């Protein structure tokens, strides 16, 4: 304890700080850690109140260099629903007393206890902490100090309870701790304070930043900031280290509900701190706010999430259902049945038309060998392995070896791009990355976590250059040797064990990790096999990476055509024909982008190629809407096939199935017909209210528009480290299953809007985020867009809302041209449609459009090359119609 003789009494904050109710502020007297009576400034929603007992008390602890103002949103929201919320300012911080003493972690823990006692807190207590306040909060919540209270829950936001003795402090802290620098940046100037405030995402409003600075306007009032940094226990001899380590050890034994809320863009508490907390608290719920950073409480809706979480036990459980009595299935039976067969399991077609065939016996043996090799490398059940290997025999073997030992495969499409892949791999907390040299080079350059294992033949020099420890071939050799010596693989994982994390496309926001357990993955394979109409002995031509997961589970041969799988549009008609001819497969799965290029290159086909494609009986395309004219062109190229477009998502694939003949039979409607639910799946609708918000009730009434909700046994288990997203995606309803039994066991809200027709078919009318809310009612975009596209001169259209919510108007932004364009030519820059064309579009849509804008191209997502980014189009159109100078909607060189 060091005295600097710079004291100041506690005081109340100045009036007018944004978001701060002055009625919450009070000065509280209590005895500090050294036996001296001191005064704290505290925010307390029950200040001066004798109201009835609260539902519970939420105690909030700030870090450095903030103060209790950090928790103002939680105070307001919590008090509104019956909680008492308390947030104190540490001594030497905020508006609490300045004592001139240097306070350490042990002091702050004891003093938190003293303040809570002085406030006469009792009963159920929730403890919340941020930054180094998270260490104080968790140390107190797990200590004997809190024993008289009933600490029921703990919430931690961007904090850390580990710092190895040989580890450096986080970068900004390390810089501040440089000899001679600490006082200069923390107390003598506002540098540390201003830097912390500057990393908010988005930037803080000026008055909010000023409110954070209000308690720290002089050197004397900033000494606590300096002390907080100095108390970080860097090195083995730091006096706070024993208390710090003891608190971390106790946290590992904490068995009450815990929520970790994280801003991943944090230069202080990076991924390793979150990973450590997850390891200590394996039962904790986690939500990563993808765009948030260190000041996650400012960057995201932490207050709303905490309150949702406190009510979670009663509204997020998955109900029992009619599919619980379905016979158990697994991923292994078909592979085991064929382990002695030399029939092909995987066929890789080369650019010259030749084919590499891998038999079932070789695949089964290689799976066991790689599994044994991974175990020898120290990979254990539950560890995560990022799989960055192109579809083919290597990926298939590695995936099943990973699953066999109970590790979790992390699969992210290369179409996410470098930034998206980095986010996916980093957020997953992978323990190893298995990839081709190009992927491993990126992993090293971008500092992805985990050891690196190279796939394919890799020279030693390349192995060293990419930082790989071994190769898949070496793993197989090691595993083969161990098995020959008598080693035995452990039992296969149980049905509830996590199997894979599959990342979504990122077309509607940052890509999300979707977790499937072994049972759900097996049921997904079963449902897809039934939809694709393949099973044991059949073959499927596909460059879609997830089929490396499904092929062996179905006993089907997976055929990989010659193409760049990271760019589906590189698949040519000749390459597809070669794959069909080489394998004799009569089933083909193509993405919409691949389908477009196949048709674009069909003139290159020779008679033999056309004969091969003429034998295709099942053609599927999924991942994005496929226009009917495109399907009709495909049907002419593959006349035996009825082109099919299953509807679903990474979270539930497939959900429905529809063929070209079904679409033509259904005719024109309000949206895109995606057919009927597949076997074992139920589709219901959560009706939209007048504000365009889906309700909690589920209906199957024809003609009711709302959010499409899918139930079935192959629905995802949960989103990875996205507790709030998962809670939002779960629906609980009372819709009967297709057999008349009770509701489906698992429900997923798709985020799509649509309706059911009288025949039980599902029609998709757009995304929930793209619904246009106008004073005259709610509009869904797809139907009006389809009608606009019937106008000669309109190739593709986007319906968007313009103006304020209370006076929202509707506009159409369209690409000019099309097969029936007539005198309308594609435009080189943004222009307003002619009065004649505008009137034709208004008549076709039946809407009072405020404008029809023509653009050279509409922006679409990179992966599917077809889903229009209507949110971006709407923001752009609003700026254009307001007369603002704005950038082109799609810049030259952007991928469409």
Between residues 880 and 303, which one has the greater pLDDT?
Answer: 303
At which of 255, 282, 313 does a domain end?
Answer: 313
Instruction: Indicate whether 174 pLDDT > 90.
Output: no
pLDDT at 882: 87
Instruction: Let me know whether 750 and 811 are in one domain.
Output: no
pLDDT at 568: 79
Query: How far is it, in rounded angstroms, from Cα 557 to Cα 534?
Result: 9
Residue 816 in any domain: the answer is yes
pLDDT band at 895, cuts 50/70/90?
very low
Instruction: Let me know whether 89 and 236 are in one domain.
Output: yes
Q: What CATH number did the domain enclosing 150 receive?
A: 3.40.50.1820
CB 750 within 8 A of CB 557: no
pLDDT at 330: 84
172: containing domain: 24-313
Section 740-754 average pLDDT: 75
pLDDT band at 172, cuts 50/70/90?
low
Lowest mean pLDDT among 178-192, 215-229, 304-318: 304-318
Q: What CATH number did the domain enclosing 678 receive?
A: 2.30.38.10
Give the position of tokens 């996410």.
Answer: 416
Class of residue 498 by CB neighbours under 10 A (exposed 0-12, middle 13-18, buried 19+) = buried
Mean pLDDT (the chain) is: 89
At which of 296, 313, 330 does a domain end?
Answer: 313
Residue 651 in any domain: the answer is no
Residue 620 in any domain: the answer is no
Instruction: Let me know whether 268 and 223 are in one domain.
Output: yes
Q: What is the DSSP letter of 141?
A: H
Lowest mean pLDDT among 230-234, 322-326, 494-498: 322-326
What is the signed CA dihedral for 290, 295, 300, 302, rounded to 10 degrees?
A: 120
Instruction: Indicate whether 684 pLDDT > 50.
Output: yes
Instruction: Indicate whether 448 pLDDT > 60.
Output: yes
Instruction: Indicate whether 865 pLDDT > 50.
Output: no
Query: How far is it, in rounded angstroms, from Cα 284 to Cα 279?
Result: 9
Residue 677 in any domain: the answer is yes
Lowest mean pLDDT among 186-200, 447-461, 742-756: 742-756
**Token pair for 402:** 């990973």
Q: What is the DSSP letter of 318?
A: P
CA 546, 549, 550, 556 torsion-angle sign:
positive
Query: How far is it, in rounded angstroms, from Cα 436 to Cα 414?
Result: 12
Section 684-708 average pLDDT: 94
Section 382-401 average pLDDT: 93
Give the position of tokens 């719920």.
Answer: 285
Q: Is 328 left (phi over 0), alpha (psi -120 to 50) or beta?
A: beta
Residue 76 in any domain: the answer is yes
pLDDT at 218: 96
Instruction: Indicate whether 320 pLDDT > 80.
Output: no
Residue positions counted in the chain: 896
Instruction: Let me know whether 253 and 115 are in one domain.
Output: yes
pLDDT at 169: 64
Tens digits of residue pLDDT in 283-314 = 999 999 999 999 999 999 999 999 999 997 54
Instruction: Let me know whether 198 and 302 are in one domain.
Output: yes
Instruction: Let me know whether 761 and 789 are in one domain.
Output: no
Instruction: Indicate whether 821 pLDDT > 50.
Output: no
pLDDT band at 234, cuts 50/70/90?
confident
> pTM of the prediction?
0.89
Instruction: Let me know whether 795 and 757 are in one domain.
Output: no
Instruction: Let me know whether 667 and 693 are in one domain.
Output: yes
Instruction: Indicate whether 863 pLDDT > 50.
Output: no
Instruction: Let me know whether 757 and 779 are in one domain.
Output: no
**Token pair for 566:** 């990271």
Section 122-144 average pLDDT: 95
Residue 183 in any domain: the answer is yes
Instruction: Let me know whether 122 and 146 are in one domain.
Output: yes
H/E stretch holding 185: helix 182-186
Query: How far is it, in rounded angstroms, from Cα 881 to Cα 832?
Result: 10
Q: How many domains does the chain contain in total?
A: 3
Instruction: Indicate whether 166 pLDDT > 80.
Output: no
Query: How far is it, in rounded angstroms, from Cα 57 to Cα 60?
Result: 10
Instruction: Let me know whether 157 and 200 are in one domain.
Output: yes
Q: What CATH number did the domain enclosing 785 receive?
A: 3.30.300.30
Residue 574 in any domain: the answer is no
Section 532-553 average pLDDT: 81
Query: How far is it, in rounded angstroms, from Cα 429 to Cα 407?
Result: 13
pLDDT at 864: 42
CB within 8 Å of 639: residues ≥ 6 apart: 614
Lowest mean pLDDT among 192-201, 318-327, 461-470, 682-691: 318-327
Lowest mean pLDDT among 89-98, 225-234, 237-246, 541-550: 541-550
Instruction: Indicate whether 826 pLDDT > 70.
Output: no
pLDDT at 139: 96
CB 77 within 8 A of CB 304: yes
Instruction: Indicate whether 637 pLDDT > 90.
Output: yes
Query: How far is it, in rounded angstroms, from Cα 424 to Cα 719?
Result: 12
Instruction: Let me know whether 91 and 112 are in one domain.
Output: yes
pLDDT band at 818, cuts 50/70/90?
low
Among 713, 716, 711, which Cα is nearest to 743's? 711
Query: How far is it, in rounded angstroms, from Cα 156 to Cα 154?
Result: 7
Strand partners for 43 = 25, 87
pLDDT at 227: 94
Residue 222 in any domain: the answer is yes
Q: Which of 18-32, 341-355, 448-462 is most confident? A: 18-32
Query: What's the CA angle centered on 578, arms 573 and 582, to 5 degrees?
Result: 155
At which of 270, 292, 313 does a domain end?
Answer: 313
């Amino acid at each position: 304890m060091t005295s600097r003789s710079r004291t100041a009494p506690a005081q109340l904050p100045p009036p007018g700080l944004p978001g701060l109710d002055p009625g919450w502020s009070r000065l509280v007297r209590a005895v500090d850690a050294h036996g001296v009576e001191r005064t704290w400034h505290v925010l307390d929603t029950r200040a001066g109140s004798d109201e009835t007992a609260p539902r519970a008390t939420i105690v909030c602890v700030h870090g450095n260099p903030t103060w209790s103002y950090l928790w103002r949103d939680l105070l307001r929201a919590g008090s509104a629903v019956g909680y008492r919320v308390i947030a104190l300012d540490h001594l030497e911080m905020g508006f609490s007393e300045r004592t001139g003493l240097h306070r350490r972690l042990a002091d702050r823990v004891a003093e938190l206890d003293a303040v809570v006692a002085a406030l006469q807190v009792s009963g159920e207590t929730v403890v919340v902490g941020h930054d180094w306040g998270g260490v104080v909060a968790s140390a107190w919540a797990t200590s004997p100090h809190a024993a008289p209270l009933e600490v029921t829950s703990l919430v931690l936001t961007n904090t850390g309870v580990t710092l190895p003795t040989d580890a450096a402090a986080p970068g900004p802290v390390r810089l501040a701790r440089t000899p001679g620098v600490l006082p200069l940046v923390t107390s003598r100037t506002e540098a540390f304070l201003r830097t912390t405030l500057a990393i908010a995402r988005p930037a803080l409003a000026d008055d909010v930043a000023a409110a954070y600075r209000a308690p720290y306007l002089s050197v004397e009032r900033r000494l606590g900031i300096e002390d907080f940094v100095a108390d970080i226990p860097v090195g083995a001899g730091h006096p706070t280290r024993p208390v710090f380590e003891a608190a971390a050890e106790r946290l590992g034994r904490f068995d009450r509900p815990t929520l970790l809320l994280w801003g991943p863009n944090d230069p202080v508490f990076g991924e390793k701190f979150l990973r450590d907390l997850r390891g200590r608290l394996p039962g904790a719920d986690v939500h990563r706010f993808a765009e948030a950073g260190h000041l996650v409480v400012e960057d995201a809706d932490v207050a709303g999430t905490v309150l949702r979480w406190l009510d979670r036990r009663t509204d997020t459980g998955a109900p029992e259902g009619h599919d619980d009595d379905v016979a158990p299935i697994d991923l292994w039976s078909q592979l085991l049945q064929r382990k002695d067969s030399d029939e092909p399991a995987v066929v890789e077609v080369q650019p010259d038309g030749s084919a590499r065939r891998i038999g079932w016996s070789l695949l089964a043996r290689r799976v066991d060998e790689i599994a044994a090799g991974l175990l020898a490398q120290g990979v254990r059940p539950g560890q995560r392995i990022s799989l960055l290997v192109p579809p083919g025999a290597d990926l298939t073997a590695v995936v099943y070896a990973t699953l066999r030992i109970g590790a979790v495969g992390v699969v992210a499409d290369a179409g996410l791009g470098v930034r998206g892949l980095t986010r996916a791999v980093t957020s997953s907390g992978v323990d190893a990355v298995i990839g081709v040299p190009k992927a491993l080079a990126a992993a090293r350059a971008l500092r992805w976590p985990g050891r690196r294992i190279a796939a394919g033949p890799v020279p030693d020099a390349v192995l060293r250059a990419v930082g790989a420890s071994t190769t898949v071939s070496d793993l197989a050799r090691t595993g083969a040797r161990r098995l020959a010596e008598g080693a035995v693989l452990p039992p296969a994982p149980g049905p509830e064990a996590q199997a894979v994390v599959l990342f979504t496309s990122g077309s509607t926001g940052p890509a999300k990790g979707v977790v499937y357990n072994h049972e759900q993955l097996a049921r997904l394979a079963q449902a897809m096999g039934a939809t694709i109409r393949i099973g044991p002995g059949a073959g499927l031509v596909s460059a879609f990476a997830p089929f490396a997961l499904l092929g062996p589970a179905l006993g089907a041969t997976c055929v990989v055509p010659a193409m760049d799988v990271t760019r589906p549009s590189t698949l040519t008609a000749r390459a597809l024909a070669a794959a069909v001819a080489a394998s004799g497969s009569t089933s083909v799965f193509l993405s919409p982008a691949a389908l477009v290029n196949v048709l674009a290159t069909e003139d290159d086909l020779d008679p033999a190629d056309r004969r091969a494609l003429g034998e295709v009986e099942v053609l599927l395309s999924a991942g994005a809407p496929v226009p009917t004219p495109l399907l009709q062109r495909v049907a002419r190229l593959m006349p035996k096939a009825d082109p099919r477009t299953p509807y679903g998502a990474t979270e539930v694939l497939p959900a429905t199935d529809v063929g070209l003949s079904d679409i033509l039979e259904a005719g024109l409607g309000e949206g895109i017909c995606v057919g009927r639910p597949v076997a074992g799946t139920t589709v219901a609708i959560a009706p939209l209210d007048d504000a365009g918000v889906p309700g909690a009730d589920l209906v199957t009434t024809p003609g009711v528009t709302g959010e499409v909700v899918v139930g079935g046994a192959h629905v995802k288990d949960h989103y990875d480290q996205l507790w709030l997203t998962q809670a939002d995606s779960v629906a609980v309803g009372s819709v009967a299953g297709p057999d008349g039994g009770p509701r489906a066991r698992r429900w997923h809200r798709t985020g799509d809007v649509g309706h059911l027709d009288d025949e039980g078919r599902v029609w998709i009318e757009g995304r929930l985020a793209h619904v246009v809310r106008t004073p005259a009612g709610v509009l869904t975009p797809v139907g009006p867009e389809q009608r606009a596209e019937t106008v000669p001169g309109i190739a593709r259209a986007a319906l968007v809302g313009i103006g304020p919510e209370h006076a929202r108007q509707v506009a159409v932004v369209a690409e000019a041209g099309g097969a029936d364009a007539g005198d309308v030519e594609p435009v080189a820059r943004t222009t307003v449609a002619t009065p004649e064309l505008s009137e034709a579009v208004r008549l076709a849509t039946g809407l009072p459009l405020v404008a029809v804008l023509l653009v050279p191209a509409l922006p679409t997502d990179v992966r599917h090359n077809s889903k229009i980014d209507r949110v971006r189009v709407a923001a752009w159109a609003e700026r254009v119609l307001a007369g603002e100078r704005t950038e082109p909607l799609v810049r030259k060189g952007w991928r469409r």
